Amino acid sequence: MGAGSPTKKKKMRKWNFTAGPSTLPEGVLRVAQAAIWDVGLGAGILEVSHRSAYFDGLMHELEEKFRRLGGISDAYDVLFLQGGATLQFSQIPYALTRPGDHIDCLHTGFWTRHAMRDAARYTSVHYAYDGSKDGFDHIPEAGEIAYSEGARYVHYCANNSFLGTEWAHPPRAQAPLVADMSSNLFSRLLDVDAHSLIFASAQKNLGMAGCCVVIVRRDFLEANLGPNLGSMFDYRRLAEARSMLNTPPTFALFVMKEVLVWIESRGGLAGVGAENRVKAAIVREAIDATGGFFCHIGRADSRSQVTVCFRSPSAALDEAFAAEAEALDMIGLRGHRETGGLRASLFNALPREACLALAEHILDFACRMG
């Protein structure tokens, strides 16, 4: 069916492929809409005190569901913080390194570059792998990584949303492993025990903007946490206060709890992971079927399950594709501002029907323009 076909039925809501804030389950949006008015207390969630019995119960339920779905043991603290993942770029090295320390980085693109730019203010950075020489087109194999001796920890980004590459498994390292999982946390089964610290912003698979999740081993904190930290930078104090050292992002936490209810209803992380693999296959197979008109960005062995990046033969055609997609009720398909091209973020709440609609548009556009 061609773009703008008059026989196409208009959708009430568009298919949202945006990288974040991203699409949310419609059922969660309905619950949140009602909760803004009243959560059963004669007041809405935007008005309820974080010191109330209601909110205390919400936080217990949120952490219980998060731990159960993620398979997170009591060896870890789970923190629900403000400042997004970007604050963690500074907070982690500031709180967990000392003068004379250094860290290792597995540099796979935009987000590790930004993280290390901040980390370098507090500690020395050694690049155990630098993908810039290859255009960040793949996830490194073990033989490409050269760890240093005595690194305080190893930092990596699990899903590189600007070019669509993803670690299929955590890297192996002797030093503690720190992962930025902002765009793939809870998109599939999670190997928490391979890590000493995991952090992720919420607005991809976990809810709305305004909250960052930190999963951190207590023994890692005890061995590394620096002295004389400001209260909001001290992970131990944040854990003791159950993420409520100050007023937390109450609405964002309510929404996250409802998203976890939705994930559980979809079969947990195994269920959403299986569905995300199907969604990615639908889009990638359509790209392959265009005979080279559209091409994937990133090497085949490194391609992401949740971020599909691709290009047409020219920037002008990329823009035409995205503009036509918008006329077909598909938004958010333009690539990262640094790389251009096209990008489809297939986060948990995006339904399979959206991927089928995108695949149809890919094939139709290539047929007409190729």
Q: Which residues are catalytic?
A: 111, 180, 204
How far out from the chain centre does Cα 107 lie? 17
Segment 55-59 long-range contacts (CB within 8 Å, at least 24 positions apart): 55/250, 58/253, 58/254, 58/257, 59/242, 59/243, 59/244, 59/253
Spatial separation of the C-alpha atoms in residues 210 and 313, rounded to whole Å: 38
The single-letter DSSP state of residue 42 is S
Q: Which two tokens stand for residue 343?
A: 């990008």
Q: 3-state DSSP call for residue 220? A: helix
User: Which DSSP string do the residues of 223-288 spell out, in sequence order?
Assistant: HHPPSS--GGG-HHHHHHTTT-SS---HHHHHHHHHHHHHHHHTTHHHHHHHHHHHHHHHHHHHHH
Owner of token pair 């620096």 = 226
Half-sphere exposure of 363 (CA within 13 A, CB side): 14
Task: Find, among 252, 246, 218, the residue nearest to 73 by Cα.
Answer: 218
Spatial separation of the C-alpha atoms in residues 110 and 44, rounded to whole Å: 39
How many residues would you count in the chain? 370
Q: 3-state DSSP call for residue 85? A: helix
Owner of token pair 């339904």 = 351
Task: Find, among 123, 137, 118, 225, the residue nearest to 180 by Cα.
Answer: 118
Q: Give 308's strand partners.
A: 344
